[in-house]
Chains A and B, each alone.
Chain A
Amino acid sequence: MGASEASMAYANPLGVLTGVHYLDGDHSAAEGACAAGCRFFAGYPITPSTEVAERVALRFPLIGGQFIQMEDELASIAAVLGASWGGLKSMTVTSGPGFSLMMENIGLGVMMEVPCVIVDVQRGGPSTGLPTLPAQADMMQARWGSHGDYEIIALSPNSPQECFDLTIEAFNLSERWRLPVLIMTDECIGHMTEKVVIPPADRIELVERRFTKETPDKYLPYKPCEDLVPELAPLGKGYRFHTTGLTHDERGYPVMTAEMQEINVHRLVDKIRKNADKIVHVEKKNLDDADIVVVSYGISSRVAIPAVEKARSEGLKVGELRLIIVWPFPEKEIRSLAGKVKAFVVPEINYGQMVYEVERCAAGKCRTMLVPHGGGWVHDPETIYRAIREAAK
């Protein structure tokens, strides 16, 4: 099998509410799903993500989609995987406790290579924590939460507009790389209402599902193309394929050996690692002559803005690197900046998660300073400002 170039299609106008809207992040993510061609949604109510499900329940019967409220999050993610195999773009949404429950089948999605999207509207934890208040404390769970070795893709919108835009990007990435893609938003973004511009359908490009062109007798469900991604087969068309969560060969048949583990799992990891340059998505601001770089994502990137502006107005050379895609982590960007700057300042609503990735890639070449927040609210920009001043010393 050669290189299978992802082909593109335009959005179906039926699902696209073209125009200027005043939406919260949760509703905007739901509109992003409608526009992206998502036509199956299975979910379970959990604050602060429920509004996504509510909006989908309202919209789907009008656009040819199916919404089902499942009995729990275990069932929700399982149904999403099944529906995706059935040929529908599929999504679920949850928050901390539900995200924990979904972990096993996110691993199944990785192993079976199922395109789908999972939105985690983060709230304070551990356990039931702070159901109605924000946090960014599931970032490492997003990366490592399911057992075993794997790579994942996770995005982090910082506005209702990005909840729309990045939901479409998440679906495109999931189809392109054949894996579950996570959208790591938070209560603050989810419940923040802002202007959201939804473009015309013919301005929204979607990645087509990669169905094989091989005939059933030649098709191998897990034979990778050059980009390490195998092609899907439609159901009921004579392919009669098998897929399993067990370690498997190119036929999809279980093979329980160290050799097959190496072939199977190494490819799953390499599929993302070796293609990371094509996936990484960051926003850069004032990096050219920066001494200090604020590395942030999601709501914290917005809270950092007044802190950066104040420091710059006082003559400090502060740049910003915003992670729009948090996983895979933009290692190259951090490594190259580390040799040039004095310090990274990392504000996040947890006691240290993404900061360890920054520190790892900085590799001692510059300081890395965490600006922690336990959750329940966002940082006071003043704390970030003080950290920038401290870093400049």
Chain B
Amino acid sequence: MTVTERQSCQTPAEPEHPKSLLLRMDRMPHIWCSRCGIGIALGCFAAALERAGLSPDDITVTSGIGCTGRAAGYVKVDSFHTTHGRAIPFAVGLTMARPDLKHVVFSGDGDLISIGGNHFIHAARRNQNLLVICVNNFTYAMTGGQLAPTTPVNARATTAPYGSFERPFNLPYLAASAGASYVARWTSLHIRRVTDSITEALQREGFRFIEIIAPCSTIYARRNKLGDGLDLMKYYYESAVIDHEARLQDLDIGFQSRIVVGKFVDEERPSYVRSMNEHFGKVLGGKYVRPVTGDVAGSSGAGGAK
């Protein structure tokens, strides 16, 4: 096509992206590969925000490092792209300083469960008021497909070229054991369920964990000869079993095995900050000064009312 020809082509006006209110359209195209499942998870998150009736000014999103770690950079809210593994403790600071807002950690399995694993269990134990969305693609995708703490036994990774023989974490079991008050697992095939789950979790209190199993077609699927993204969706379709009553210890995922999905924990327990306020109120009585929050603190730390 010559330049003249190209100029003469009338391209229709780009239709507006349905989630443009919640996405940083000035950062598109994103870095994710075609057929990657992270975008689906982020789309569900954006839909859930709308469904929950939340304005972008009601929430913050914090990510760590990795493919999913880029999510914070694409959502048009106050957003924090932090260091590898530290999204949760960073967001702990946010949630304590600004308890009036909802704080979401959106990151990957390697970031949250391997390098950030200690923070994950302690934030769950304390029931910190965070919604943690973990996109689990069974691998370290951004660095080229290394062994993750979620890689199924016998799956291959660049650092497990003969297949993995390590037992992976069962994430819902881990989260529930550590004290999470809401635990669910879905795959990126379950768009409606994921959206419902995030919508519901956004309205709960305490440490809420949603695992979203998502295809990494470029790295994980190719190395393991699993076909492309669509083939993985077919695998989810054929192998995912919804069982809300499943025993948590039975939720292990083997290589191309059955994947049990569902909502496994939904309990009402006071969050860390609520427990703190109740405890100090009881023990210190009138001497307790409820925490100043970041929206009113000012430089002097003033604003605390008894």
Contacts and interface: CB of A to CB of B under 8 A. Distances in A.
Interface stretch (A81-89, A281-289, A303-311, A321-329): A81-89
A82 B92 CA distance: 7
A224 interface: no
Interface in B87-135: 88-98, 100-101, 118-119, 122
Contacts, number: 211
Contact of A89 (B96, B293, B295, B297): B297
Contacts of A87: 97-98, 293-295, 297
B128 to A, nearest CB: 9
Contacts of A108: 82-83, 86
A79 B289 contact: no
A245 to B, nearest CB: 6
B301 A75 contact: no
B122 A236 contact: no
Interface residues of B, number: 56
B181 interface: no
Given A37-B300, A39-B297, A78-B83, A253 B27 contact: yes
A235 interface: yes
Nearest to B300: A12
Interface in A90-121: 90, 104-105, 108
Nearest to A6: B299
Interface stretch (B56-64, B221-229, B254-262): B56-64
A245 B70 CA distance: 11
A61 B78 contact: no
A175 B300 CA distance: 12
Nearest to A211: B298
B73 interface: yes
A81 to B, nearest CB: 6
A82 B97 contact: yes
Nearest to B83: A108
Interface string A1-22: 0000000011110110000000
B83 A88 contact: no
B175 to A, nearest CB: 16
Q: Report the contact-size class of chain A (Cβ under 8 Å from the partner).
A: 35 or more
Given A12-B301, A175-B299, A244-B81, A88 B287 contact: no
B303 interface: yes
A80 B93 contact: yes
Interface string B263-283: 000000000000010001000
Of A34, A62, A251, most B-chain CB atoms within 10 Å: A62
Contact of A86 (B56, B93, B299, B303): B93
B97 A239 contact: no
Contacts of A61: 280, 284, 287-289
Interface string A239-259: 111111110000101100000
A233 to B, nearest CB: 8
Contact of A37 (B86, B95, B122, B298): B298
Contacts of B280: 61
Given A39-B297, A253-B27, A238 B93 contact: no
Interface in A39-72: 39-40, 42, 61-66, 68, 70-72
Nearest to A61: B280
Interface in B24-81: 24, 26-27, 56-58, 60, 62, 72-73, 76-81
B172 interface: no
A78 B90 contact: yes
A171 to B, nearest CB: 9
Main secondary structure of the interface of A (DSSP, over half): mixed
A243 B72 CA distance: 9
B109 to A, nearest CB: 19
Nearest to A82: B93
A86 B97 contact: yes
A74 interface: yes
A206 B100 CA distance: 26
Contact of A72 (B72, B93, B118): B118
Contacts of B215: none
A14 B289 CA distance: 10
Contacts of A66: 96, 276, 291
A253 B100 CA distance: 26
| Residue in A9, A12, A241 with the greatest tally of chain B CB atoms within 10 Å | A12
Nearest to B78: A235
A199 to B, nearest CB: 14
B301 A83 contact: no
Contact of B80 (A75, A76, A82, A234): A82
Contacts of A34: 301
A237 interface: yes
A37 B81 contact: no
B290 interface: yes
A191 B97 CA distance: 31
A388 interface: no
Nearest to B118: A71
A159 B73 CA distance: 45
Interface string A162-188: 000000000000010000000000000
A14 B291 CA distance: 13
B90 A62 contact: no
A90 B292 CA distance: 12
A206 B78 CA distance: 27
Given A64-B303, A89-B297, 14 more contacts: A62-B289, A74-B118, A79-B93, A82-B97, A83-B96, A85-B80, A104-B83, A236-B100, A240-B76, A240-B77, A242-B80, A242-B81, A243-B79, A253-B26
Closest 4 CB pairs of A and B: A87-B294, A86-B97, A64-B304, A82-B93
10 contacts: A37-B298, A64-B291, A74-B89, A79-B96, A80-B93, A82-B89, A83-B94, A85-B80, A240-B57, A242-B73
Interface of B: 24, 26-27, 56-58, 60, 62, 72-73, 76-83, 85-86, 88-98, 100-101, 118-119, 122, 276, 280, 284, 287-295, 297-304
